[in-house]
Amino acid sequence: MGTDGREARGCPQKYVVKNYFYYYLFKFSAALGEEIFYITFLPFTYWNIDHSVSRRMIIIWSIVMYIGQVSKDILKWPRPLSPPVVKLEVRTDAEYGMPSTHAMAATAISFSFLIATMNQYKYPFELGLMAAFVFSTLVCLSRLYTGMHTVLDVIGGALISAVLLVLLYPAWDSIDHLLLTSPFCPLLSIAVPLLLCYNYPKLDYYSPTRADTTTILGAGAGATVGFWLNHQYAAPAYSGENLGFPLITGMTVVLVLARFFTGLFVILLTRQLMKSVVLGTLCYCYKFPISDLEARRRLEVEVPYKFVTYSSVGFTATVIVPLLHGLLGLI
Please report the pLDDT score of residue 225 as a whole number.
94
Mean pLDDT of the region 176-183: 89
- pLDDT per position as a tens digit, 69-84: 888 888 888 877 767 7
Mean pLDDT of the region 183-200: 92
- pLDDT per position as a tens digit, 160-173: 999 999 998 888 88
Q: Residue 161, class by beta-carbon neighbours within 10 Å (0-12 exposed, 13-18 middle, 19+ buried)?
A: buried
Please report the pLDDT score of residue 163 as a whole number.
92
3-state secondary structure labels for all residues of 171-199: HHHHHHHHHHHCCCHHHHHHHHHHHHHHC
- pLDDT per position as a tens digit, 260-287: 999 999 999 999 999 999 998 998 888 8
Q: Residue 313, class by beta-carbon neighbours within 10 Å (0-12 exposed, 13-18 middle, 19+ buried)?
A: buried
The model's confidence at residue 249, banded by pLDDT at 50, 70 and 90, is: low
Cβ–Cβ under 8 Å, residues 98 and 76 = no
User: In which region does residue 96 sit, left (phi positive, over 0), alpha (psi from -120 to 50) or beta (all else)?
Assistant: beta
- pLDDT per position as a tens digit, 115-152: 888 877 777 888 889 989 998 888 888 888 777 788 88
Is it the case that residue 2 has pLDDT exceeding 70? no
Name, in order, each residue with C-beta under 8 angstroms of 6's C-beta and a sequence gap of 6 or more: 14, 15, 16, 17
Is it the case that residue 199 has pLDDT exceeding 80? yes
Q: Is 118 helix (H, G, I), strand (E, B) or coil?
A: helix
Is it the case that residue 223 has pLDDT exceeding 90? yes
> How much is the CA Rg of the chain, to the nearest whole Å?
20
Report pTM. 0.83
The model's confidence at residue 53, banded by pLDDT at 50, 70 and 90, is: confident
Name the average pLDDT for the chain: 82
Q: Which residue has the higher pLDDT, 219 or 125?
A: 219
Could you give the residue numbers annotated as active site? 102, 149
The model's confidence at residue 36, banded by pLDDT at 50, 70 and 90, is: confident
Counting residues of the chain whose pLDDT is more than 70, the rounded percentage is 87
Other Cβ atoms less than 10 A from the Cβ of 123: the count is: 12
The model's confidence at residue 255, banded by pLDDT at 50, 70 and 90, is: confident
Cβ–Cβ under 8 Å, residues 164 and 157 = no
Please report the pLDDT score of residue 38 as a whole number.
83
Q: What angle do CA 87, 204, 158 make, to 5 degrees?
A: 50
Q: Please give the Cα distance from 6 to 13 (Å, whole number).
A: 9
